[in-house]
Chain A
Amino acid sequence: MPVIEARELVKTYANVHAVDGISFDVAPGESFGLLGPNGAGKSTTMRMIGGTTRRTSGTLLVNGLDPETRGPEVRASLGVVPQTDNLDPELRARDNLIMYGRYFGLPYSYLRPKAEELLAFAQLTEKAGEKVDNLSGGMKRRLTIARSLINEPSVLLLDEPTTGLDPQARHILWDRLFRLKEAGVTLIVTTHFMDEAEQLCDRLIVMDGGLIVAEGSPASLIRQYSTREVLELRFGSERNAALVDRLRGYADSIEPLPDRVLLYTDNAEAALAKVKADGLDPVTSLVRRASLEDVFLRLTGRSLVD
């Protein structure tokens, strides 16, 4: 049985179709990613899964229960990292973890050692007695992430978890997430970092305007929506757009960005050689493998100049 079964989920605010009929399944132990530009409906989807936003229509089951009619039971096995931290400003760092555990009905005998372990994971042991307002932005983020683990959830909802984290903290989190995954925890992640999505997600959906525009594993999405390689050329911001027409013959498709032009081709080295041979002299050039970033640009970005 899937951990999450969503069918034709719709959430409409006053006049915005935040989520406009999406369907997906998430299998137990899977790492599932939600990607999409700002306002695509990712956070709204997350909130519907937790039963903290009422859906307009559609069906949704989490561990076989409808979060709307069985919210408390559904959330008992859920860990939630919201996009914006909502720590309790009237409690100190450690008490934030302990009180949150109390909301789950967990006993102090369990919570005290658990809180210490999570503080260590968040590298906040020294700040345990600090007021939340006195923590830095990244520290608050780490505390919010630690808090989501207090009830040892079987499903973890992470809404842009690494935003605001320094590289070290980000790797500590990734490491923890990999270990949770090994332990069978299902992860639902939204992120704007494509490298993170590629690393963490077994499968992902790309949303835009409340709809799913693509679905698959990172590798299959790259295969489907991009060429094998990408040639990045910079001619200086004035000339990038002007040269698009002349570059057309060198690649399967071209994506002009403000600071550079992307050429999608299966052999980027060869394309670069031809560009140079024809007397176009890019300021810099880069040959690289296609990534999820390219898929994302293609699916949700400006239309391609084919």
Chain B
Amino acid sequence: MSAVVARPSERGVRGWLRANSAGRVGAVIERGFRVVGAQNWIIIVSGFFEPVFYLLSMGFGLGGLIGTVTGPGGRPLSYAAFIAPALLATSAMNGALYDSTWNVFFKLRFAKLYQAMLSTSLGPLDVAGGEIFMALFRGLLYAIGFTGVIAILGLTTSWWALAMIPVALLIALGFASVGMALTSYFTTFQQMDWINIALLPMFMFSATLFPITTFPVGVQWFIMALPLWHGVELMRQLSVGVFDGSSGVHLGYFLIMSVLGVAFTTRRLRSLFLR
């Protein structure tokens, strides 16, 4: 038999796109919207109410005992107004990670949905892009709902609070892109528990429920290196419209995290989908 002379494949970005995308991310999104209605509404609704319940029980219940705490710019803030933005940041993180890890892993390994998609002319980039878009769309709905709730409860004092919605999306993008890349390393559901093990303390200690100054300086530095703290602080500043130099750092943190996360996922794309 004669040797096959493969045409040299295109290099660079164009070649990479040809290998990984049909430019049809829209079809994956179309499917996403089609099944939203058919999905388990309990899960969707619970995703919305979880932070609301936290807010009502801790913010107002516990808040009654605590009174006021020091908010951005040293201003006094009711305890409910203190934790509300933090809960929004946390719920954006949790939703994005759930969608990009558990959900992706399930569809990959058990529902075999991605295998079916990838036996059409879709490429892994189309699938990943569509799924991240759907995760962000769900995040958007939750963010609008929760921002509305805290506005109605009078826990925001500035029009800047509206910017909490796009910032929630940015937080979600940062976590979803990193989460999807991490999922490419997982082979069992158990391994995903590691993510949960990391998440709970991050939620507890990232200045969500009490100010970071409670901790010794060394611990503070550690917390300040973690992403959630930046999300929490930025949200808190937006809710009252008080900013300082750190605001740019917080925003920059998530911009960089998103860029790196998307690059990381892109690199792992073929390992994730084409085993």
Contact = CB atoms under 8 A, between A and B. Distances in A.
A278 B15 CA distance: 73
Interface stretch (A48-56, A200-208, A296-304): A48-56
A75 B120 contact: yes
A117 B196 CA distance: 48
A283 to B, nearest CB: 47
Interface string B97-120: 000000000000001110111111
Interface in A226-248: none
Interface string B236-251: 0000000000000000
B61 to A, nearest CB: 38
A236 to B, nearest CB: 45
A86 B116 contact: yes
Interface stretch (B34-42, B70-78, B147-155, B252-260): B34-42
B116 A53 contact: no
Interface residues of B, number: 37
Contacts of B31: 88, 91, 99, 102
Contacts of A84: 112
B interface: dominant SS: loop
B119 A68 contact: no
B34 A99 contact: yes
B27 A105 contact: yes
A102 B27 contact: yes
A158 B233 CA distance: 56
B119 A50 contact: yes
A73 interface: yes
B21 interface: yes
B20 interface: yes
Contacts of A69: 9-10, 15, 18-19
Interface in A58-105: 59-61, 64, 66, 68-73, 75-76, 78, 80, 82, 84, 86-91, 95, 99-100, 102-105
A294 interface: no
A25 B120 contact: no
A87 B1 CA distance: 39
A23 interface: yes
B200 interface: no
A105 B25 CA distance: 10
A72 B30 contact: no
Interface centre among A5, A84, A99, A100 (most CB of B within 10 A): A99
Interface of B: 1, 3-4, 6-7, 9-10, 15, 18-22, 24, 27-28, 30-31, 34-35, 38-39, 111-113, 115-123, 270, 274-275
26 contacts: A52-B119, A53-B274, A59-B3, A59-B6, A61-B4, A66-B7, A69-B10, A69-B19, A70-B9, A72-B22, A72-B122, A72-B123, A75-B120, A76-B121, A82-B116, A84-B112, A86-B111, A87-B116, A90-B39, A91-B31, A91-B35, A100-B120, A102-B27, A103-B121, A103-B122, A105-B22
